[in-house]
Amino acid sequence: MIKRNRLLNRPPKSLEERYFSEIRPQLYENHAHHHQYGVRKGTTLAEHLDSACQFILTVSHRAAVSEDKRPLLLAATAVHDLNKLDTQGRNVKTLARNQDFLREQLEKACVLSFVVTEDDLELVRKLIERHSGHNVSDGARFLPEDPDIERWAAMLTAADLFDLGIPDEKRFRKLETELTVAFGRSCNLLRVSLSEDKGYITALLLGACEEVLQKYGLHCLAIFPDGALFEGEVLPNADLTKEIAAVWQSKIDQVFGNNIERLVRPTKDGIKVTQQAIQQNIDEVLVNIEALLEKKKASYKSDKIAKDVTKWGDAAGADALQKASELDLIPVSNAEEFAVSEGLKAVYLSYREAGLSPKEVWDKIAHHTGISEQQRIAIEPFNSQYGRPLFAAKAAVNGIEGIKEALKESFQLRKESTQTSEEVEVSEEMVAAVNRIVNLPFTIQLNGVNDLNAYVEANPKQRCSLGSTSTDIDELISDNMPPGTKVQAFSNRLPGGISAEPKRQADSIAALAYQLIAVGANFPAVKKRDPLYLHLALPKGSAPELLRIWRELLRQIAATNGDGGTVTVDELQLYRDNKLEFKANKVVGAALPKRSEFVHTTVIIPLVWGDVNASLALLKSLRLGLEISLSLDIGFPFTLSSNLEVELFDDVYGRVEGIPAALQPLFGSGQYQQSEDAEKILERLRCIGKLATSVVSIQKADDCLYDLARACVRPIELYFVLLRWILREQDEPNLSVIWNRICEPLNTLLESLMPNESSLLTKYLKEAAQIAAEGKIWGSSFKRTAQTEPFTAFISAIRSQKSHLDLEIIFAALIQQYHTRLDRIREHGVGATKLEQVKRYYDILRKLYEEIYSARPEKLLSDQKTLEAAYLFFLEEARKQLKSQTEDNSTETTTTV
């Protein structure tokens, strides 16, 4: 089993933190490969013990168990299945009363330090013996004992039942029975689940659900990838949908309220203000627009503006220019006027968003900015968006103040146009979204027929590019949509269509979900390529405390970059030592969430790798994702995809979408049923990372990594890729030293790629290398070309093969020629023994030629470089083995003497 990383490195402050940083990793190291059967089939003993321990931590805290007893409950839970820990098949009662065995198991689970006295050990024994319906037959029940033992035993019983593989209805009924005893009051369970996961917006929705349910006395008991389990004395009998939607809306508003600067964007067409910005804080929007106008003023370039003036002036015509000049409509000539013209353009774009025609827009602009009626008529021939602002800037006598008044009016018009169907506290659209996304017992509505009708009856021009087709469709430009979203309507290519870029239709909630990611993740300042998305989910039945620890961990990692950008890993330490060390980066890495509430049952981490090809980005992303997912103290299921939205996590531990054909042998199916399957892929990626850093510098490691990954299609080509990179770095490399560095990861990688295959090609090459090492059959030096000389002679003989000569003659001549060559270069010559060795050597290569390549020269020659590289490394391995045997024999002789 590979050595997993740990992400929680700080000293634990609470019992929960101690469990996740110290005890949980030990449970997985001890029992990760101990599979269970019956109703728990498909899970390991480590997963069962982990689930029970997390449950007991949550329940004991909710039940206000004293802090000196909670560690004992945790210790008993960590080893409660004693019969599964025993190799002799003894029962729980026998094992619980064997103090030596019990102490041994407590020590293995790292919980023996909680059991200080004999009374503590006796309490642990009683809890273990009474769990899961085991009878108590030791007479202790007839003696005075702590009355809370029955409550604590019920908690352990509930923890044992929590992950039972039976239908939820039956399982929850069992849990409610035990928890009623544990809490000393009635207990009811409520499961909240999601029908779809849209990232940050879904996390905010679950946070809203939790906030509202807590107000009604329900508290989170466990978290699942698709929702959460709540517990309370009485379940609410009212419809809480509207209340949840209102809290959800307020949470979304808070996010955008703090990110106005991201929603007021300078573009090539002018300053644009999104709908979310004006719904938050209009004064803040105006401040941001003023700041952008100041930047425009500072970036004023007279030659560039002159070109624009000429362009739009010529488009309007000489007569229009003459009339404009007569009315003091003179084009922009300085930085101050340029800022005003950009302000006029921003006002125009905002009014247009409110649905006004160009004529109506300029009538309002003229009113607010002081443009006279004659001037308003004179600028009509100019382009309404680009030309008029350039020629009307001087005429706008009210300046920036007039522009601000016009902006305020346009914002009010836009707000009114979107509030026709809204109530004061929350829109019907948000309530409908809650009904659709969250499965709540008091909002059972079957809207499938309505959704189907909306799709069937939709105008083809309104088909959604993002999300489901519904009545709430927004037209958005590319910046407000996920990268790569397809265009459904090309209005600018139709008669009478506008000249703006093609619009994309999106379900309003789906578009809002993306915009939340765009403002809520720490994206780099420069976006060179589309990101990949790493979706991580809390395992089934996770404790709420794990969510808190996970949020804090992500916050600490994000804080590595004090400027709020991406965080990357130290690739040298990752590839060479398999260690995760995070550091700041301005361009590439993981765009972690800015707020902890964006993390709930799942978290989406966009990964940006700069200017690299898609396959290399996938390689780097999967390596990072697996290191995080398989860490001992976290251990989260994952999906790696180029899509923002993916299917909810099911029983598959990991999934990689969009694997190119060249990487399929390395990545496998892309569906990893259990963590052991993902471990195999991580082991392969670690091997090629170690190989890359062993032969090239870290600056070239990514290119080498990519070549090695592609070579896994035919694993023997790994030898050629490695040799090629070695020769790029060094003209005359010390292959013996390099082989010592790469032999272990290379052999591990080959064994993983071909576990049950004994390649005949590899077998013959290794046999030939072994004979060459024993007989010292090579050239006159230790240079690479001299080492492969006998093999190169074989290739040359096949290349020059004549049709009238059979193989007997070719190989007989080859044997004689190379024997003569050795006789000439050896100081004392060679004899019959060496001739026999050379004959054996070339007999093996003849078998290789006939059996593998069917004696077809073109097939062999196409593999020439691969075969030479593999032979060279096999020769180094054979030499290493001979040296080891010689040293062992020498040691034995010395010991005997």
> How would you write 557-610 as a 3-class SS string?
HHCCCCCCCCEEECHHHHHHHCCCCEEECCCCEECCECCHHHCCCEEEEEEECC
Helix (H, G, I), strand (E, B) or coil at 45: helix
Biggest CA–CA distance in the chain, Å, is 118
Query: Could you tell me the two tokens for 768?
Result: 């030939």
First to last CA, the chain: 42
Q: Return left, alpha or beta for 227; rule: phi > 0 is left, psi -120 to 50 is alpha, else beta.
A: left
Residue 461 CB partners (closer than 8 Å, separation 6+) = 488, 489
Per-residue pLDDT at 118: 92
Closest alpha carbon to 657 in 779, 740, 550, 533? 533
Question: Which residue type is seen at 197?
Answer: D
Question: Which residue type is seen at 28?
Answer: Y
Residues 368 and 388: their CA atoms lie apart, in Å, by: 15
Question: Which residue type is seen at 825?
Answer: I
Other CB atoms within 10 Å distance of the CB of residue 565: 23
Identify whether the C-beta of residue 15 lies closer than 8 Å to the C-beta of residue 57: yes
Identify whether the C-beta of residue 60 lies closer than 8 Å to the C-beta of residue 73: yes
Q: Strand 567-569 to strand 532-537: parallel, antiparallel, or no bridges (unpaired)?
A: unpaired
DSSP state of 196: -
Closest alpha carbon to 630 in 710, 536, 491? 536
Query: Could you tell me the two tokens for 422?
Result: 């809204």
Q: What is each CA distance from 442 to 18, 191, 220, 253, in whole angstroms?
A: 39, 12, 18, 26
Identify whether the C-beta of residue 56 lies closer than 8 Å to the C-beta of residue 155: yes
Query: Could you tell me the two tokens for 761?
Result: 């090609």
Gyration radius from the chain CA atoms: 36
Can you list the pairs that 279-285 forms with residues at least 24 positions away whose Cβ atoms lie under 8 Å? 279/253, 279/415, 279/418, 280/253, 280/256, 281/257, 282/408, 282/411, 284/257, 284/260, 285/260, 285/407, 285/411
Q: How far is CA 588 from the centre of its chain?
A: 14
In 716-851, at which residue ranges do the beta strands (DSSP E only) sit?
Answer: none
Identify whether the C-beta of residue 361 lies closer than 8 Å to the C-beta of residue 379: no
Question: Which residue type is seen at 393?
Answer: A
Backbone angles phi, psi at 716, to 5 degrees: -65, -20
Residues 808 and 816: their CA atoms lie apart, in Å, by: 12
Which position has the token pair 């309404």? Answer: 384
Identify whether the C-beta of residue 16 lies closer than 8 Å to the C-beta of residue 545: yes
Sheet hosting strand 227-232, strand order edge to edge? 219-224, 227-232, 188-194, 438-439
Residues 571 and 574: their CA atoms lie apart, in Å, by: 5
Per-residue pLDDT at 491: 47
Q: How far is CA 773 from the centre of its chain?
A: 47
For the chain, which ranges sit under pLDDT 70?
1, 132-145, 257-259, 262, 280, 417-425, 442-506, 526-528, 649-650, 756-758, 888-897
Per-residue pLDDT at 223: 94
Identify whether the C-beta of residue 877 lies closer than 8 Å to the C-beta of residue 769: yes
Identify whether the C-beta of residue 705 lies closer than 8 Å to the C-beta of residue 692: yes
Identify whether the C-beta of residue 505 lies closer than 8 Å to the C-beta of residue 470: no
Question: Which residue type is seen at 886?
Answer: T
Residue 699 CB partners (closer than 8 Å, separation 6+) = none
pLDDT digits (tens, 9 = 90+) for 152-209: 999 999 999 998 888 888 999 999 999 999 999 999 999 999 888 888 999 999 999 9
Residues 570 and 581: their CA atoms lie apart, in Å, by: 6
Residues 695 and 688: their CA atoms lie apart, in Å, by: 11
Per-residue pLDDT at 421: 33
Identify whether the C-beta of residue 877 lies closer than 8 Å to the C-beta of residue 743: yes
Residue 419 CB partners (closer than 8 Å, separation 6+) = none
Beta-bridge partner residues of 231:
189, 219
Residues 785 and 792: their CA atoms lie apart, in Å, by: 8
Identify whether the C-beta of residue 255 lies closer than 8 Å to the C-beta of residue 238: no
Residues 124 and 126: their CA atoms lie apart, in Å, by: 6
- Write out the H or E segment, with its range, that includes residue 639: strand 638-641
Cα angle 780, 786, 788; round to 5: 135
Identify whether the C-beta of residue 329 lies closer than 8 Å to the C-beta of residue 396: no
pLDDT digits (tens, 9 = 90+) for 729-740: 888 888 889 999
Per-residue pLDDT at 133: 53
Q: Strand 654-656 to strand 671-672: parallel, antiparallel, or no bridges (unpaired)?
A: antiparallel
Residues 353 and 273: their CA atoms lie apart, in Å, by: 9
Residues 889 and 897: their CA atoms lie apart, in Å, by: 12
